[in-house]
Amino acid sequence: MRIASNILPRSTLLFGLLASISSMPVLAQTVKIGFIDPLSGAFANVGANQLKHFQYVADQMNATKAAGPNITFEVVPFDSKGTPQETLTVLKSAIDRGIRYVTLGASGSGAALALIDAINKHNEREPDKTVLFLNYGAIDPALTNEKCSFWHFSFDGNTSMKMEALTTYLAKEKTISKVYLINQNYAHGQQVSRYAKELLARKRPDLAIVGDDLHQIGQVKDFSPYVAKIKSSGADTVITGNWGNDLALLIKSARDAGIKANFYTYYGDLVGSPTAFGAAGEGRVHTVGNWTRNYEKSGIESVAAGFQKQFKEDFGRASVYSTMSVFSAGIAKAKSIDPYSVAKAMEGLKVKGPAGEDEMRMSDHQIQQSVIVSSFAKVDGKKVRYDLEGTGFGFVPAVVMEPYVASQPTSCQMARPIK
């Protein structure tokens, strides 16, 4: 029996079918990121500002196809109201809406710790609907030590890392003799106090800690009683992890009282604070972080300029850029938007960061990056080209430290799921 010439062997047909399928364009996919931070209450201004950061950087990643030619990011806001309880409520809402990635920073470390626990439990119950936590700003060291999780990644140097860098800098400042500590009474503030005392005792045992106050977070409207204590102590240096309104009101009260001490902060460049201290902060307010716009080797100047042009606000949270940069690279490497696959791909990744190379350490999911101690100075068109909040003053690097300076060992014993 003769076979018709137009009938092809089955193997040839199968190969052709597979080739045809593989050449078909991949359907566009939208990756939704649940932004869980305070959009009301005492820290609403910080939350709203950080939301704009995420939306803008996500748009930039979309424009450059950073995660792949068919991947688009969408940032979905949820109001945590700054509390762990509300954070868990809106996490459930995000999961119910099919959101597989969430981010948090301005809600604080207490909320972040609650979020890790809830996500761990959810992922155990629902292994086919896993959720990944992209932490851009909650920096309690416990998050990547005893509470570490495969489902959590930290994109900002933690409290101990920044204090390691800050005290390395302060150890060389021989004019310092009396240090006052004032912090918010929650995980991060307590850790700032603890690490400052431990590291200064080791590096500068000659220094005297003349005060150590913890106050309710977001509840103090008048810091004058605390400022009076600082003034009477004779402190020449104040170290604080305060942020948002708690930092702005503290600095404003110190300015009004005529305190001449230097303030070393974690968040002196966040929205609202530069306006609070204004010219009085020149040479007296300093901050430790992973970027400042006046760093001459800034890797994200175009992002900062574009953000300011669009929102008429300053781009100040470089950790948002680090988050989206590593996340995009992870999706591109995994060729998948599945949280487990993306998490595996992000481990050990190295990308160009705001002030050098960012590396996502595999052992604990804690980013390793350069640390900058900056001082508030008047714009001179040379070293200080950009101001903050129209004050005529901006932060300029006093020292830029390589990642190894701040890097800390980890006690993380991470349980990695097998899929």
Percent of the chain with pLDDT over 70: 94
pLDDT digits (tens, 9 = 90+) for 321-353: 999 999 999 999 999 999 999 999 999 999 999
pLDDT digits (tens, 9 = 90+) for 55-92: 999 999 999 999 999 999 999 999 999 899 999 999 99
Domains of the chain: 29-157+299-368 (3.40.50.2300), 160-289+370-406 (3.40.50.2300)
N- to C-terminal Cα separation, the chain = 52
Which CA distances in Å does 138 have to 24, 110, 317, 344, 407?
A: 42, 8, 12, 22, 17
21 has a pLDDT exceeding 50: no
pLDDT of residue 18: 38
Asked if 342 contacts 353 with a C-beta cutoff of 8 angstroms, the reply is no
- As given in the structure block, the two tokens for residue 56 are 């803008």
Query: In DSSP terms, which residues pair with 264 in a beta bridge?
Result: 239, 286
4 has a pLDDT exceeding 60: no
Report the mean per-residue pLDDT for the chain: 92
SS (H, E, C) 115-151: HHHHHHHHHHHCCCCCCEEEECCCCCHHHHCCCCCCC
pLDDT of residue 148: 98
pLDDT of residue 27: 64
Query: Strands 71-79 and 29-37, how do they pair?
Result: parallel
